[in-house]
Amino acid sequence: MTPHSREICGVRVDVTGYDAALERTIAWAHRRESRVVCFSTVHMIMEAHDSPEYNAILRSADIVAPDGMPLVWALRLLRERGATRVYGPDFTRYAVAAAERERIPIALYGGTPASLQKLIRAFERRHPNLEIAYAFAPPFRRLTPDELEIQVAAIRDSGAGIVLVGLGCPKQEQWMAEGRCRIPAVMLGVGAAFDFLSGVKPQAPRWMMNIGLEWMFRLATEPRRLWLRYLRQNPRFVIHFVRQLLAGASRTSNTPDEIRLK
């Protein structure tokens, strides 16, 4: 699949798949190029819709893959019939396996000290030849410029070709944007993948993922943290996207008249 982009609620989303995104990621990592890969959800779309600064960060990324099924359905309604999901935790598994196979050192940035240690142990069990060159769980606050520079330098000096960033949206995308051109590695903003792959939090059953109900499972497991997000963002996404579709249909229906007038 040749990647290209569409707009959903004014936010860029790429039409790509696992194979294409992974092939580009590994090629960039071998060349030690500073790249940013994002995995977009409804939450991310609405955050970018509300924030021009955050929207600009996503537009500057090298890949913005559709992580959630609602975005896949939105792309298909925009006539991208072959659109598929690129789920961040699954992509993380594929990227880590490829890094082990290709001898690409990785870095881990995010989570808590306890969850990060669990993730490291999980990776060591599944990928005994994987080199984890750097791992750090940053504090839950904005870093000072000096702290950021120390961490950027440590990642750069580690030789990592892929950096898995698990800070959550929008913090991880902002962090990757700050690290761009300073960290010679592919930065993957994988969010909750740290918790899922370490076993700290449960993943939704595949059947719920496939029909777009993963949010319901996550709400049931983390109601206090997620209820306000889903209550606020999900209905707004539907409203804005329906408006986009109606506006597109209106422009399409007007096209013949516009041509005749010319």
Residue 49 near residue 8 (C-beta atoms within 8 A)? no
SS3 103: coil
Q: Where are the alpha helices (DSSP H) in 36-144?
A: 42-50, 52-60, 69-77, 88-102, 113-126
The per-residue pLDDT of the chain, averaged, comes to 90
Enumerate residue ranges in the chain where pLDDT < 50. 255-262
Q: Residue 233 to residues 10, 48, 54, 199: CA-CA distances in angstroms?
A: 15, 12, 16, 27
Which pLDDT does position 252 carry in this prediction?
58
The pLDDT, as a whole number, for residue 228 is: 79
- For 79, other C-beta atoms within 10 Å of its C-beta total 9
Find out whether 108 and 130 touch, Cβ atoms under 8 Å.
no
pLDDT at 27: 98
pLDDT of residue 214: 85
pTM of the model: 0.89
Q: What is the pLDDT of residues 131-181, one digit of tens each?
A: 999 999 998 888 888 888 999 999 999 999 999 999 999 999 999 999 998
Q: What is the pLDDT of residue 250?
A: 64
Q: What sign for the dihedral angle of Cα 36, 42, 44, 45?
A: positive
- In this prediction, residue 51 carries a pLDDT of 96
| Structure confidence at residue 223 (pLDDT) | 84
pLDDT, position 23:
97
